[in-house]
Structure 1
Amino acid sequence: MSIIVWIVIGGLAGWIANMLMKTDGSLVKNVVTGVVGALVGGFVMSFFGAAGFTGFNLWSFVVALVGSVILIAVINVLTGKRA
């Protein structure tokens, strides 16, 4: 899997997750949130028996988006911020 795929899907997933969770962020924050979210989402999906991040497709975007939302929610709980 190419690093460019991770950056593109991570950037889109991080951007959408930031909009859903009503947080703000720069392009770099969106990409980092999306890439780390893809890792978190892959772990969560494999825990439930589903495939994780599989490449440049819709399923990988959904996995990254779910992981990004989980990541932002956990960070908000730890820092005491509210959406």
Structure 2
Amino acid sequence: MNIIIYLIVAAVIGWAATMIMRDRSSLLINIVVAVVGAFLAGWFLSPIFGVGTINDAITLPTMLVTLLGAIILLAIVRLVRRGR
């Protein structure tokens, strides 16, 4: 049951990140963006803000850090796409 909740929260966070970055993506891409963004946020942003990610617990601060990680990931992907 926890994995289903985790995937739903990841989909919502990924969707929010794609809306903020004005990118069109499928549900699967939204989930992947949020999960990878959570890992990025865990390595780089969690030590700065002192907050975990949705990998630790699903709370508002962890969702915001995960959202920020997903936005950063989308920005990196956009820069790589432009370089081609």
The aligned runs of 1:55-74 (5 Å cut-off) are 55-74=57-76
Alpha-carbon RMSD across the aligned residues, in angstroms, is 1.7
Q: How many residues align?
A: 80
Cα separation, partners in 2 of 1:49 and 1:62, compared to 1, 3 Å: closer
Segments of structure 1 that go 5 or more residues without pairing to the other structure are: none
Deviations 1:33-54 (A, max 9, x none): 1111111111122342512213
The percentage of aligned residue pairs carrying the same residue is: 31
Segments of structure 2 that go 5 or more residues without pairing to the other structure are: none
- Partner residue in 1 for 2:34: 34
Aligned-residue offset at 1:11? 0.8
| Aligned partners of 1:6 and 1:35 also within 8 Å | no
State the alpha-carbon separation in 2 of the partners of residues 15 and 27 from structure 1.
8
Q: Structure 2 length normalisation: TM-score?
A: 0.83
- Hey, which bits of structure 1, 4+ residues long, moved more than 4 A? none
| Aligned partners of 1:17 and 1:69 also within 8 Å | yes
State the alpha-carbon separation in 1 of the partners of residues 23 and 31 from structure 2.
14
| Aligned partners of 1:9 and 1:64 also within 8 Å | no
| Aligned partners of 2:45 and 2:69 also within 8 Å | no
